[in-house]
Structure 1
Amino acid sequence: EAGPGSLSRCLAYLTSFPSPSVWQDQAEQLFKSGHTNNWAVLVCTSRFWFNYRHVANTLSVYRSVKRLGIPDSHIVLMLADDMACNPRNPKPATVFSHKNMELNVYGDDVEVDYRSYEVTVENFLRVLTGRVPPSAPRSKRLLSDDRSNVLIYMTGHGGNGFLKFQDSEEITNVELADAFEQMWQKRRYHEMLFIIDTCQGASMYERFYSPNVMALASSQVGEDSLSHQPDLAIGVHLMDRYTFYVLEFLEEIHPASQANMNDLFQVCPKSLCVSTPGHRTDLFQRNPQNVLITDFFGSVRKVELTTETVSLKPDLSSMGYRERREGPAQSSGVHPVRK
C-alpha cells in the first residue's frame, strides 16, 4: 500500500527528469558546429624499420577514428612503409602500439589508400586540393565539401619549418599553409583540425592563415619529439610520446562524449612528453571549450528535432491490413485484405 512517503518519492523521481526544452537544448548542442560530415587524412611519411613507431602512430589514430564512427570511405590513409610485412617483424601481419603486445593496431580491416612510394609531397597536396588525376579511384580522393570537418594527422621526421617524406623530399610550412588556403577557397572544409607529431612540430603551423583551422603539435621550435615504449623483442620504439598519450585519452572517448578540445590540449604535459606540446586557435572561430572531440574524431549523425507528438495506431488491421504467415521457404509480410 502506497503511503505519503511513497508518493513524495515518486514525485521527486518524476521531477528529476529534464524538461523537453532541456533535452532539445542538449541535442542542439551536438550539432552547433554546423558540419554535416567528417573526413580524416592520416599520413605517415617515414620508411624503414627503425621508424616503426611512425606507422604505429598513424594506425593508432586510424583505429580510433574508425571506432568513433568515421568509415573507411571517409578516411584517406597514407603509409610510407608496410611494417606488418617487414622481414624484421617477429610477428608478421601485426603492428603493436604497446609493449605488452595486447593491441594489434594493424587489425584485420586496414584499408591503406596510398602506400610505399605513392606517399609523396605531390600526392599529399593533390589529395588536399582535389587535383587528383581523373583515373584516381574514389578511395584516393578527399571528397569533402563546405560542410565537412576535416582531421589531418601527420607524423614523421621534421625540423624547423619542414616535414620529411621518405628521406627524399620535404614539405614546408609555407606549402602546407597554401594548400589549406586552396582548400578554403575551393570550399573543401568547414572546420579543420591539424595535428602533427614531429620534431619542432609547432613550426609547421606558424604560417597558417586560413580561417577555421585549429592546430596541435607535439613540440615547440627548437625541441625534439621523443619516442616511447621501447620493445626488446622487436628492437625499436613502438610509438612517440605525444601520440601515445593522445591515444590513451581517445580510448576513453565514446560517440556521445562531451570532452572538448581544451581537454585534448592537456593530455600530454611536459612532464610526460618531455617536449612542450603546442596549439594554435587564433584562426578558429569557436571557443575550443565548445568544440567536442567528436566534432573531428567522430562521425556526425544529423537528426531532425521536433517537439510535436506523433500518435501511432496500435493495430494495423484498422488500416485494412492483416498479417499472413508464409511457409518456411517464404518470408512473412504484411498484405492487404481482399474485400
Structure 2
Amino acid sequence: MLFAALLFLLCFFDLASGINAHNVSQDEILRDFYSKGNNPQGHTNNWAVLVCASRYWFNYRHMANALGMYRTVKRLGIPDSNIILMLADDAACNPRNKFAGCVYANKGRHLDLYGDNIEVDYRGNEVTVENFIRVLTGRVAPSMPRSKRLLTDANSNIFVYMTGHGGNEFLKFQDNEEISAFDIADAFEQMYQKKRYNEIFFMIDTCQANTMYSKFYSPNVLATGSSVLGENSYSHENDYDIGVAVIDRYTHYVLNFLEGVNKTSQTTMQDLFNSYDVDKIGSHPGVRSDLFKRRVDEALITDFFGGVAQVQLDATDDASRRAFVPADSSLSPSDERTAIKPDLPAAPYQLIETQQPESLLRRVQTWSALCIVGFLCMICLKS
C-alpha cells in the first residue's frame, strides 16, 4: 500500500510538471505572436508629418497635395492622433474659392479633400521652419498641446511628406524663409540620437526635389523626390471654375498608385518606385536607399502609410509584477488609473513589488502532497 501511494504521488507531480510546461510553451507562443507577428522589423506605431509650405491662392495645388496624402494615410489606418498636418494657407476658406470650404484635386471635383473630418495641427503663420524642426526633434514648450507634438519613440516609423516651391537644396516656407537640406539632415540626426524613430520615409514634391535628401546621413532613412537637380516639377491639371492648378503631377500619380493599396496589402516600396513614369510625371523622380537597412522590395507600403496592429510586451516575472506609483501619492490604485494628469514634469517614482495570486495548480500540488504525507504517516503509526 505504501508503494502504491508513493507511485500515485510520483505520477501526480509528473502530470503537474507537464501541465506547467505546456502553459509555459503557450505563453512563449503568445509572446512571440504579439511581439513579432508579421512585422519583422519590430515597429509598433506609425506617424505622418505632412507639410504644405506654400501660401497664397495660386499655390492651391500644394495644399491639395498635402490633403491628398492626409486622406490616404487616414484611409490606411493612421489615426489623427498620429498625424501632424501643417498647412501654410487655407485655400478652403479663401474668398476666391468658388466652392467654399472645399478643396479638390481633380477638375471633375469628385472628392472633397477638406470635408468636415480634418484636423489641421499647424495653420497659416504657425507653419515655419522653426516649428517644423521643433516638431521633428521634440524640442517644444511644455505648454504645447499633445495634438501638436510628434510623440514618437524608438519603435516608430515616420512618413514625412513636404510640398511647396523649392530649388537646389532648399524649400521655401511662407514665401519668406527657407529650409535647407542640411537643416532636415541635422534634424533627422537629432531624432536618431534621441531614439525618436525606427525608420523614416521622406517624400518631397518640389522643383529639384532630389537635392533635398542629398545631405542625409542618419541610418534607416528611405527618401524619394519628384525631380533631379536643374529640373522642375509640374502641375497636373487645371480646373477652370477654380481658376488654378489643383494638384502636382508627381503627387497625383503617387496617390493614384496608393488608391490600389489597402490595410492588408503586401505591396512594397519597390512597387511604388517602379510605378514612376517619367513621361507622365514630366520629371525624373529619384530614390535614395543607401541609408535604409532593409531591402526596399521587402518594405511594405503599410510599414509607413498604414496603421500598426502590433504591441510591445514587457517581460514579467512569475513571482511578482512591477508597478510604478508616485512616491508621495495619496491616491488609491483605482484612483491612479482614472486620474487625469496634466503634462507636468514627472514626480519621483519608486518601484514596488506586488505579489501575484498563487496559482491554482500550485495550491492543488501543495494540498495533495500534504494529504498523501498525512495518510502515509497514519498508516505508519497504525502499523
Normalising by structure 2, we get a TM-score of: 0.72
Corresponding position: 1:75 with 2:83: yes
Q: Secondary structure at the match of 1:207?
A: coil
**Cα 1:85–1:185 shift into 2, 3 Å:** same
Corresponding position: 1:225 with 2:236: no
User: How many residues align structurally?
Assistant: 282
Q: Deviations over 1:199-231 (max 9, x none)?
A: 000000000000000000000111000001211
Residue number among 243, 251, 255 corresponding to 1:243 in the alignment: 251
State the partner residue of 2:200.
Answer: 192
Corresponding position: 1:102 with 2:76: no
**Superposed structure 1 runs of 4+ greater than 6 Å apart:** none
Residue number among 161, 173, 190 corresponding to 2:169 in the alignment: 161
Q: How far apart are residue 33 of structure 1 and its match?
A: 2.1
Paired amino acid for 1:149: N
Alignment of 1:320-339 (within 5 A): none
Could you tell me whether the CA contact under 8 Å between 1:84 and 1:95 is conserved in 2? Answer: yes
Paired amino acid for 1:262: Q
Could you tell me whether the CA contact under 8 Å between 2:92 and 2:102 is conserved in 1? Answer: yes
Paired amino acid for 1:162: F
Q: Distance in 2 between matches of 1:106 and 1:33?
A: 34
State the partner residue of 1:294.
Answer: 302
Identity among equivalent positions (%) equals 61
Residue number among 179, 183, 188 corresponding to 2:191 in the alignment: 183
State the partner residue of 1:37.
Answer: 45
Q: Distance in 2 between matches of 1:30 and 1:102?
A: 36
Q: Secondary structure at the match of 1:30?
A: coil
Q: How far apart are residue 28 of structure 1 and its match?
A: 5.9
Could you tell me whether the CA contact under 8 Å between 1:150 and 1:193 is conserved in 2? Answer: yes
Q: Distance in 2 between matches of 1:92 and 1:51?
A: 16
Greater fraction of residues in helix: 2
Q: Distance in 1 between matches of 2:149 and 2:159?
A: 15
Q: Deviations over 1:218-253 (max 9, x none)?
A: 001110000012111111111000000000011111
Could you tell me whether the CA contact under 8 Å between 2:44 and 2:311 is conserved in 1? Answer: no
Could you tell me whether the CA contact under 8 Å between 1:33 and 1:291 is conserved in 2? Answer: no
Residue number among 143, 147, 150 corresponding to 2:155 in the alignment: 147
Q: Deviations over 1:249-296 (max 9, x none)?
A: 111110000000111112231111110000100000000000000000
Paired amino acid for 1:125: I
Residue number among 262, 266, 279 corresponding to 2:270 in the alignment: 262
State the partner residue of 1:62.
Answer: 70
Residue number among 252, 268, 289 corresponding to 1:281 in the alignment: 289
Q: Structure 2, unaligned stretches of length 5 or more? A: 1-31, 313-383
Q: Structure 1, unaligned stretches of length 5 or more? A: 1-23, 305-339
Corresponding position: 1:88 with 2:115: no
Paired amino acid for 1:271: D
Residue number among 118, 126, 130 corresponding to 1:118 in the alignment: 126
RMSD, aligned α-carbons: 1.8
